[in-house]
Structure formats: C-alpha cells, structure tokens
Amino acid sequence: MSARQDAMRATEAQGALLAAVGLLAACGAVAVFSATAPLAMDQTVPPHFLRHAAALTIGGFVAFAASRLPLATLRTLSLPLYALSLIALAATLGVGRTAGGAQRWLAIPGMGLSFQPAELVKLTTVLAVAFTLSRKDGRAEVTGRQLLTALGLAILPASLCLLQPDLGSAVILCVLAGGLLFVAGARVSHLALPALCSVAGLGIYVALRPYALRRWVGFLDPWSRASTEGFQLVQSFVAFGRGGVTGVGVGDGRQKLFYLPEAHNDFILSVVAEETGLIGVVFILGAFAALLVAGVRIAIGSKDRFALLLGTGATMLLTLPAALNAAVVMGCLPTKGLTLPFLSYGRTSLLVSCLAVGLLIAVARPIAERRRR
C-alpha cells in the first residue's frame, strides 16, 4: 500500500472518528438534559446540563490541543504524567471527598470543583504502558522485563482504585494493560497467569466486600430482590421494556423520576432506551462501533510502534467502558459504577474522553499529512 493510500485512509478514519464522537456528544447533551430535568426543580435549564455543556466545550479545546502534540512530546511526557496522576490518585485516600460510600474525588482549591483522578490515571496508564512496550530496535516480541513493567504500571493504580473502592476502574486498568500487551506481541501463554490471578483476585475482593457481594447477588437474581439488591437493575429492565422499539418520546420517560438511581450517570442508557426505544439504543451502540472501527484503522495505519499502542489504548479507553456499561444496564454484568463515555454526566470522564479523542487524532495526523506533501 502506498503512502498516499495510507494518508487517504487515515483522513477517512479521522472523519469517521469525529462524526461518531460528534453524534455521541450531541446525544449525550440531550440525554443529560432529559435525565436531570427532574432534579432542576423550578429552573428552566438543569444545572447539571449547564455543567455538562461547559465540560463538553472545554473538552473540545482539550481535544484540539492534544491533537497538535507531536508523538515525540507524548513519549517524553508519558511517564511524568503517569507519576502525577498516580500521586493524585493516592491523595484521594487521604484527603479525597467521599460520596456514595467511595472516596474518589479531589477538590480543586479555590474553584469549588472536584475531579476523579481514577479517570485520568486510565489515560496516563495507556501512555506509560505504550511507552514501555514501544521498542526502538523494531523487534515485535515483548521481553519479560517489559511484561512485568507493563503489568506493574497497571496493577499499582488498580490497587489504589480498589482501596477507594472503585472496582470498575481497577478492572478497566487491568484490561487496558492486557490488551496493549497482546497488541504489542506478548504471547497468550504469558498473559494467562496474570489473567487467572486477576480473576482469582476479583473473586476474593467480592467475597470480602459486602457491598460487592450484594451487587453480585442482585445481578444473579434481581427479581426476587427487586426492592433491595436488585432494585436498580429491575428499574433498568422496566425502562427498556417501556421503551419498546420506538420509545415513549424524548423527555417523557418515567423511570428517571426518582425510580432509577443514577439515571444521569451509570444508567443513562436506560433513559435513552425508555425515551427512544430500541432504535435509539442501536444508534448509540452503532456510533460506538463506528468509533471502534475508526480508532483501529488509525492505530494499525501507523508505522510507529508507540503510535500503534497509543492509538489502540485510546480506542479501548473509549469503547471498553461503553461495552461494559451497556452490559450492566442490560443485566449481562453486575453493576460496577462505570460511566458511558460522552453520554453520562461526569465532567472528569467527559474531559478524559475528549483528551483520548485528541490523542487518536495526534496519532493519525502524521499519516494524513502525507497526503498533502
């Protein structure tokens, strides 16, 4: 394939990526407005929507700035950014704000705002692991030292997340590292033992944490515990059932009226399902599928190993939580507290998602620029 063909494909992938993200962001704005309207009391515009719109606007500038960064600069910044985000994550255990039984937020002094370091550390872990697994000599295999280092880069923040507790982020971090190792050329046999240890650790964690065990119990038999552990999942089922094929209409959903907990966060896809039906859910999941295809095309089109791994990691960071979130609200997985990128209300998650998009464009830009030479 010629350099010109590579450039054309990179340009097309960039266009598809931006189109998918634009559609998801627009749908997210509508969904957040609808889901938070009952919380607005007598206000015409829900405050949550205003904050979401402000974060989305800032995210657009963040994505543009990130897209202009040279790959060499990203390599240089990868480990320092990882270290800073790790320090912030550790700080939540001492001075973090607690909400919903978890200590996950750090206050920004003098601004009255807070952010979740766990969201940021996912992206910096991708950068750090991509840097670790990129090799200057061009060899495809992953050395034992690289394997252990990459696993350590993910296990350390994952352990801090479990202490908050935040099982969902810990799972995402481990899967991101495993996915990057696989793409980098690690043997499946070498990944089997860490995977088995992770599954065993997950079982022990659930057994020792009463709240996690209740989530599993509610997941396995939600209807018999519809008023306790299974309440949230049952209400999500009701939302999907009421929506049918075409939905009850945007803004006319009932489950968001204090029946469905976290309607504007983890379970916003249930609101979409009730108000726009199967058509709306398929549209949202289709946009994420398009984002996945575009991200993969950008990653594999790069001739640089670091760019390949960074593009892969950024794509996983945007689509893996979406798949897990959809599985949770549909009753295929127990609840984990994961947001739906671009749709759920959550300013840190939204900004990090925009940053990941910017990094994907930064990976594609050098390839696309060949077309203009």
Q: Tens digits of per-residue pLDDT, 135-168?
A: 755 556 788 889 999 999 999 999 999 998 888 8
- Return the pLDDT at 19: 96
CB 350 within 8 A of CB 52: yes
Distance of CA 8 to the CA centre of its chain: 28
Average confidence (pLDDT) over 10-20: 89
Which has more confidence, 315 or 12? 315
DSSP-based helix, strand, coil % in the chain, nearest 5? 70, 5, 25
* Residue 372: band (very low, low, confident or very high) from pLDDT cuts 50, 70, 90: low
pLDDT at 301 exceeding the cut of 90: no
* Residue 369: band (very low, low, confident or very high) from pLDDT cuts 50, 70, 90: low
What residue has token string 């240890």? 197
Average confidence (pLDDT) over 298-303: 88
Distance of CA 248 to the CA centre of its chain: 28
Average confidence (pLDDT) over 220-230: 86
* Inter-axis angle of helices 3-36 and 47-67, nearest 10: 170
Query: Which pairs with CB-CB distance under 8 Å and at least 24 residues apart come from 255-260?
Result: 256/34, 256/35, 256/37, 256/38, 257/38, 258/38, 259/235, 260/232, 260/235, 260/236
Q: What pLDDT, in 10s, does the model give residues 253-265?
A: 999 888 888 788 8
* Residue 103: band (very low, low, confident or very high) from pLDDT cuts 50, 70, 90: confident
Q: What pLDDT, in 10s, does the model give residues 157-166?
A: 999 999 988 8
Contacts of 120 by beta carbon, 8 Å cutoff, 6+ apart? 85, 88, 348, 352
Q: What are the structural domain ranges in the chain?
A: 3-372
Contacts of 255 by beta carbon, 8 Å cutoff, 6+ apart? 235, 236, 238, 239, 242, 263, 270, 271, 274
CB 363 within 8 A of CB 74: no
What residue has token string 């049952």? 234
Tokens of 197: 């240890």
Contacts of 253 by beta carbon, 8 Å cutoff, 6+ apart? 34, 239, 242, 243, 271, 274, 275
**Lowest mean pLDDT, pick from 13-17, 92-96, 357-361:** 92-96
Helix or strand or coil: residue 98? Answer: strand
pLDDT at 2 exceeding the cut of 70: no
Which has more confidence, 87 or 210? 87
Average confidence (pLDDT) over 104-129: 88
- Return the pLDDT at 137: 52
